[in-house]
Structure 1
Amino acid sequence: MPARTMLSFGHGYSAGALSPILHRQGWTVFGTTRSADNADRVRDTDATPLIWPDQPITAELDQASHLLISAGPGADGDPVLEAMRNEIAARRDQFEWVGYLSTTGVYGDHQGGWVDENTPLAPSTKRGQLRVAAEADWQSMDLPLHIFRLAGIYGPGRGPFAKVRNGTARRIIKSGQVFSRIHVDDIAQVLAASIARPNPGAIYNLCDDDPAPPQDVIAYAAELLGLPIPPAVAFEDADMTAMARSFYAESKKVRNDRIKDELGVTLLYPDYRTGLQALLAQDG
């Protein structure tokens, strides 16, 4: 097999779960980060850090057979295309696979109803609108593009246990509110499966099998810890940041049949219960 090299833009939590898998398979992985302070974190994921855009990455781009874009869009659009559109376009024939990590927020609010990859995009938040625009921008590039729409991400270091333990967790109640979520290890295995079975133009929802109200997840975490269930707070009365409150603007259940049918994925954590149990076991 020819040498394979992944260039990961915005190498964060999700990309950091994929890179050890690729490293074990003999890949070279480069991960960009904006700050030298994050270089060790990138190295800890078996990737070579690149401080970008402060440092040139032409040599690494020339070497790349695969691209992964995790960097979120801003008011000026997708930051990778803003900086490197022409360089990426000039090398389009060298890429075997390009992955773009988006969000299920592109579907907007469905009042607790189901959505799949064919559901029209109707984001109700500014973040979702920027993601729709970024998806379209990448789709215009004539690359072997694969779009992954991620539900709420949790995993090591990103679970509810710390807040439950320190007493700051709350069960915020909003009638009919339901979220889909995905364990970071399942994100990594879906990306690896797609790389093994490229299907340019494909779009995949990444979520587990059990959309659930957020208060149920907090309550289960408390049960696992043997601690009192945190108090219920009405959404209207909750003291929340604007960002946190915006997540409650949309309620939907996300279907994940395509990752199973097309990529043969069996979820490691098909619901939040198995995921939280595994996190607690990892915590010791």
Structure 2
Amino acid sequence: LAPPPNDNPAQWWRDPRTTALLRALRLRNPPAALVYGSTSGVYGDCQGALIDETRAVQPRTPRAQRRVDAEQAVRHFGRAAHVRASVLRIPGIYAPDREGGTPRERLHKGTPVLQAQDDVYTNHIHADDLARAMTAALWRGRPQRIYHASDDTQLKMGDYFDLAADLYGLPRPPRVPRSTAQDAMPLVLLSFMSESRRLDNTRLKKELRLVLRYPDVGSGLLSIK
């Protein structure tokens, strides 16, 4: 689950940590199954389209490119060593015990969001459901299979923060046009607002037989209110 480090600028697209792990696994009896936690950021910008796991990856950042490199290495290892290797592509994780794990702090700061016509779709998963998805993939994942570890929510980012504000009894965040967002938002936040996609989680529920405890962010945020 840890993001790939960038220790070698000359090979910025490679994930040395996963490479080292797989090298170590080759020196011993291989495990029966392996689960790698990747990111939905490997798809890049899909312009709000609903996508499944067959969508071609198009990473737009070095970090996402390193995730693609790790995915490919894990699946190659699975084929070569006859290991059931599953890749979970994970969107935004929220949880009460995760630093910045809920929208509350950002809402208190009054950080703006994009106006409706400029807004982007985001995807979410409660940490408890993510843990259950990882366990399900460990036991039920098909060899070299990719799964979207995402809930059923299909909300744009601004609507997500509006929903959270209403649940917490806080003011809704101000809306700004994309043309002025750079002056009003942190760069990290702006990077998330440059990509829009909706994740189809049918494979997660059908193949892994996972019943989400928090199928949407409304129920998940209420649980940690």
Residues of 2 paired with 1:198 and 1:161: CA distance?
A: 35
Give the total of aligned pairs.
210
Q: Counterpart of 1:205?
A: 148
User: 1:230 aligned to 139, 148, 173, which one?
Assistant: 173
Residues of 1 paired with 2:161 and 2:113: CA distance?
A: 6
Given that residues 171 and 215 in structure 1 are in contact (C-alpha distance below 8 angstroms), is that contact kept between their aligned partners in structure 2?
yes
Residues of 1 paired with 2:35 and 2:5: CA distance?
A: 15
Q: How does 1:95-174 map to 2 (within 5 A)?
A: 95-141=31-77, 142=80, 143-156=83-96, 157=98, 158-164=101-107, 166-173=108-115
Q: Counterpart of 2:220?
A: 275
**1:236 partner SS:** helix
Given that residues 111 and 176 in structure 1 are in contact (C-alpha distance below 8 angstroms), is that contact kept between their aligned partners in structure 2?
no
User: 1:246 aligned to 187, 191, 194, which one?
Assistant: 191
Please, which runs of 5 or more residues in structure 1 have no aligned partner? 1-68
**How far did 1:140 drift?**
2.2
Q: Counterpart of 1:182?
A: 125
**How far did 1:87 drift?**
2.0
Identity of counterpart residues, as a percentage? 33
User: What's the CA shift string for 1:46-76, capped at 9, x where partnerless?
Assistant: xxxxxxxxxxxxxxxxxxxxxxx53425326
User: 1:90 aligned to 24, 27, 32, which one?
Assistant: 27
Match status 1:79 vs 2:22: no
User: What's the CA shift string for 1:94-141, capped at 9, x where partnerless?
Assistant: 302111110111112111111111111112222222211221122222
Residues of 2 paired with 1:231 and 1:127: CA distance?
A: 30
Residues of 2 paired with 1:225 and 1:153: CA distance?
A: 19
User: What's the CA shift string for 1:221-246, capped at 9, x where partnerless?
Assistant: 22122222221122321233333222
TM-score normalised by length of structure 1: 0.68
**1:99 partner SS:** strand
Residues of 2 paired with 1:201 and 1:94: CA distance?
A: 15
Residues of 2 paired with 1:84 and 1:185: CA distance?
A: 26
**2:155 partner SS:** coil
Given that residues 151 and 180 in structure 1 are in contact (C-alpha distance below 8 angstroms), is that contact kept between their aligned partners in structure 2?
yes
**How far did 1:262 drift?**
0.5
CA RMSD of aligned residues (A): 1.9
**1:140 partner SS:** helix
Structure 1 residues 167 and 87 mapped into 2: Cα distance closer, same or farther (>3 Å)? closer
Given that residues 141 and 208 in structure 2 are in contact (C-alpha distance below 8 angstroms), is that contact kept between their aligned partners in structure 1?
no
**How far did 1:84 drift?**
4.1
Residues of 2 paired with 1:198 and 1:222: CA distance?
A: 37
Given that residues 49 and 198 in structure 2 are in contact (C-alpha distance below 8 angstroms), is that contact kept between their aligned partners in structure 1?
yes
**How far did 1:163 drift?**
2.4
Q: Counterpart of 2:9?
A: none
